[in-house]
């Protein structure tokens, strides 16, 4: 990091905290704190929704995903626009008309208290645990690449968010999310144009893109149907739609964003804008990763992108063997670079036969380099049972090759991405804790002022909990991975409960509750006993909840008839 980068990073972080505190300074009551007085215009709702969904890991892992596996990940988002239409046509109007603070409040009016409490507790448990992990994961990557102490990174992100989120509530969160998202996307565009500029002078952008395509990195869509594979069109459209319905329709961290809309129309527009631009945005971020891949066909990459583990391997018991593998990797790269240039030359000469030959040589050189890398990864397994450097690819490129000032800007964007999703999570956790648990169950009948202060304290509590969890997450090992996967195990059930509420008017609370238990059992069965791709869990969970509830409801009615 050069002084200019430090200056940009410091100004950006200090600026956003001051902006958040300033924007939230007029927050004076519970309505204001939990739903920003329901006055946000649609463009703020839209960008706040997008900033909440896109965490730092999204911006670090997605380019890495394209680098390692190509662009097929974009298909996961194909169901999202459909979900935005469905939610705009149903849930948004309902939530606005009922003037709820949380999505779970709706469930009591529709079903009963036990269904509302079950959904609220599920959200608190899942989001409470995952918020610590979502603070830890980007901090780990930033600390490894920048050489910073991870505790300092966690404290900076957590402390900054806690300051403005606890003082200004949803108003501060929505306004900072809006600004942060603009800067994040600005940082991504700057990174993209820097990559294009850094390509060799004798290789055009289109030629580099064709090299990436030839090596399988531009595989955006695949129409083959396979329920074991989540990266195809059908899994993305159907499974992705159910996932988006669950996330945007039942997860308070998202519902709270559009509850703050000035009207149902403003909230709808916010969701629809998200549906319009989310897929192209993900495509762009993946394409950024594919261009990093193209760049590294002409500039030698490290054999492994996590710098900490790279150094550990070099200095470890098998250090000599590892360094020899690095030399072999350099030779394999030289061969690959030569093949890539031959391929570009053949394309330029419009020589189909030469292009086909060079293409085969390129693929062969790529396989050879991959083989050497696999050997290096085996040595790294000495320090990490499941070494994976995908999340380090993009940041490693940024810190090595981007000019002074722009490194600071991209790092600020990564910090902002982490802060925006974290702030929304803490704000949503606080609102559910106070509205669904404290005000409804534990301490009903207190003054609005009391609940307003409680909401601020709840934000601080969840912030401290997340920071503490993140500090120790490194010692939890595979538990972190388990927590990450936990969300996908419960979304289908939550969605099923809400679908019953929205579309099956005759189903009562007891039937919905029984349906939820059956749906969860079905999802857990799929998780432990079947190879089903995780996107389909939401479809299975929601379907079993609805079908079981309909059966139980019919049974209850039949018994009443007797």
- 3-state SS, 25-36, equals CCCCCHHHHHHH
Of these, 4, 21, 94, 460, which contacts another protein (CB under 8 A)? 94
Of these, 5, 105, 425, 520, which contacts another protein (CB under 8 A)? 105
Q: Please report whether residue 84 would count as binding another protein according to CB under 8 A.
A: yes
| Secondary structure tally for the chain: helices H, strands E | 23, 0
Of these, 82, 308, 330, 550, which contacts another protein (CB under 8 A)? 82
CB of 377 to another protein, least distance (A): 27
Please list the residues that pair with 40 across neighbouring strands.
261
Q: Please report whether residue 141 would count as binding another protein according to CB under 8 A.
A: no
Region of 268-276, 350-358, 390-398, 551-559 interacting with another protein (CB under 8 A): 268-276
Count of all residues that appear for the chain in the document: 562
Q: Which of 348, 73, 335 is nearest to 208 (CA)?
A: 348
Q: Please report whether residue 108 would count as binding another protein according to CB under 8 A.
A: yes
Q: Please report whether residue 24 would count as binding another protein according to CB under 8 A.
A: no
Nearest-angstrom CA–CA distance, 243 and 258:
18
Please list the residues that pair with 261 across neighbouring strands.
40
Nearest-angstrom CA–CA distance, 353 and 343:
10
- Kindly state the tokens that stand for 297: 């066909």
Subset of residues 195 to 234 that bind another protein, contact rule: CB under 8 A = 209-210, 212-214, 216, 218-223, 233
CB nearer another protein, residue 229 or residue 321: 229
Q: Please report whether residue 93 would count as binding another protein according to CB under 8 A.
A: yes
Nearest-angstrom CA–CA distance, 65 and 72:
9
Of these, 148, 192, 283, 461, which contacts another protein (CB under 8 A)? 283
- Per the CB < 8 A criterion, the answer to whether 44 and 174 are in contact is yes
CB nearer another protein, residue 90 or residue 399: 90
CB nearer another protein, residue 132 or residue 501: 501
Q: Which of 447, 505, 520, 401 is nearest to 122 (CA)?
A: 520
- Per the CB < 8 A criterion, the answer to whether 436 and 116 are in contact is yes
Which residues have a Cβ under 8 Å from the Cβ of 294 and sit 6 or more positions away?
Answer: 195, 199, 208, 209, 211, 212, 217
Q: Please report whether residue 147 would count as binding another protein according to CB under 8 A.
A: no
Of these, 33, 106, 247, 343, which contacts another protein (CB under 8 A)? 106
CB nearer another protein, residue 95 or residue 392: 95
Q: Which of 102, 121, 82, 85 is nearest to 520 (CA)?
A: 121
CB nearer another protein, residue 114 or residue 314: 114
Dihedral pair phi/psi, residue 305, rounded to 5°: -90, -15
Q: Please report whether residue 410 would count as binding another protein according to CB under 8 A.
A: no
CB of 94 to another protein, least distance (A): 7
CB of 280 to another protein, least distance (A): 7
CB nearer another protein, residue 5 or residue 31: 31
CB of 266 to another protein, least distance (A): 9
CB nearer another protein, residue 216 or residue 316: 216
Q: Please report whether residue 437 would count as binding another protein according to CB under 8 A.
A: no
Alpha-carbon Rg for the chain in angstroms: 25
Q: Please report whether residue 275 would count as binding another protein according to CB under 8 A.
A: yes
- Per the CB < 8 A criterion, the answer to whether 319 and 93 are in contact is no
- Per the CB < 8 A criterion, the answer to whether 373 and 304 are in contact is yes
- Kindly state the tokens that stand for 26: 């007029």
Angle at 356 between CA 352 and CA 359, to 5 degrees: 130
Region of 2-10, 85-93, 339-347, 442-450 interacting with another protein (CB under 8 A): 85-93
Of these, 64, 81, 408, 515, which contacts another protein (CB under 8 A)? 81
Q: Please report whether residue 69 would count as binding another protein according to CB under 8 A.
A: no
- Per the CB < 8 A criterion, the answer to whether 456 and 167 are in contact is yes
Total of residues contacting another protein (CB under 8 A): 45
Q: Residues in the site for another protein, rule: CB under 8 A?
A: 74, 78, 81-82, 84-85, 88-89, 93-94, 97-100, 105-106, 108-110, 209-210, 212-214, 216, 218-223, 233, 263-265, 268-269, 272, 275-276, 279-280, 283, 501, 505
């Amino acid at each position: 990091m050069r002084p200019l980068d430090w200056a940009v990073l410091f100004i950006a972080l200090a600026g956003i905290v001051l902006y958040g505190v300033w924007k939230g300074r007029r927050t004076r009551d519970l309505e204001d704190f939990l739903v920003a007085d329901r006055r946000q215009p649609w463009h703020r709702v839209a960008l706040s929704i997008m900033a909440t969904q896109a965490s730092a890991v999204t911006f670090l892992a997605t380019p890495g995903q394209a680098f390692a596996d190509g662009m097929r990940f974009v298909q996961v988002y194909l169901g999202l626009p459909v979900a935005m239409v469905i939610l705009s046509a149903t849930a948004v109007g309902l939530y606005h008309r009922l003037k709820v603070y949380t999505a779970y409040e709706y469930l009591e009016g529709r079903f009963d208290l036990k269904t509302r409490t079950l959904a609220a507790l599920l959200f608190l448990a899942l989001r409470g645990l995952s918020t610590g992990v979502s603070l830890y994961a980007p901090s780990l990557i930033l600390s490894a690449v920048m050489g910073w102490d991870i505790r300092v990174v966690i404290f900076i992100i957590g402390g900054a968010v806690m300051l403005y989120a606890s003082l200004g509530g949803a108003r501060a969160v929505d306004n900072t999310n809006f600004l942060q998202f603009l800067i994040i996307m600005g940082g991504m565009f700057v990174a993209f144009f820097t990559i294009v500029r850094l390509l060799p002078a004798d290789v055009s952008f289109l030629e580099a893109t064709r090299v990436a395509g030839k090596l399988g990195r531009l595989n955006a869509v695949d129409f083959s149907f396979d329920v074991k594979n989540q990266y195809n069109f059908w899994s993305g459209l159907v499974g992705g739609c159910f996932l988006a319905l669950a996330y945007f329709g039942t997860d308070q961290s998202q519902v709270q964003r559009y509850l703050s809309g000035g009207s149902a129309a403003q909230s709808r527009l916010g969701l629809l804008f998200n549906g319009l631009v989310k897929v192209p945005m993900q495509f762009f971020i993946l394409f950024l990763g594919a261009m990093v891949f193209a760049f590294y066909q002409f500039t030698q990459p490290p054999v492994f992108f996590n710098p900490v583990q790279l150094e550990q391997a070099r200095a470890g018991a098998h250090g000599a063997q590892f360094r020899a593998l690095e030399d072999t990797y350099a030779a394999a790269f030289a061969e690959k670079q030569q093949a890539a240039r031959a391929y570009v030359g053949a394309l330029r000469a419009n020589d189909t036969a030469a292009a086909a030959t060079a293409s085969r040589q390129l693929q062969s050189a790529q396989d050879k380099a991959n083989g050497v890398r696999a050997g290096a990864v085996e040595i790294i397994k000495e320090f990490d049972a499941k070494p994976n450097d995908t999340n380090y690819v993009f940041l490693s490129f940024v810190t090595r090759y981007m000019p002074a000032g722009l490194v600071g800007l991209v790092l600020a964007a990564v910090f902002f991405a982490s802060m925006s999703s974290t702030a929304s999570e803490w704000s949503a956790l606080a609102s559910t804790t106070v509205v669904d648990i404290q005000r409804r169950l534990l301490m009903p009948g207190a003054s609005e002022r009391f609940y307003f202060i409680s909401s601020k304290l709840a934000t601080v509590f969840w912030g401290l909990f997340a920071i503490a969890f993140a500090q120790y997450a490194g010692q939890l090992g595979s538990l972190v991975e388990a927590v990450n996967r936990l969300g996908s195990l419960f979304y289908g059930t939550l969605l099923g409960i809400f679908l019953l509420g929205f579309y099956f008017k005759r189903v009562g609370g007891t039937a919905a509750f029984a349906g939820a238990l059956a749906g969860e059992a079905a999802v857990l069965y799929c998780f432990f006993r079947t190879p089903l791709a995780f996107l389909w869990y939401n479809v299975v969970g929601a379907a079993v909840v609805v079908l079981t509830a309909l059966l139980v409801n019919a049974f209850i009615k039949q018994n009443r008839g007797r």
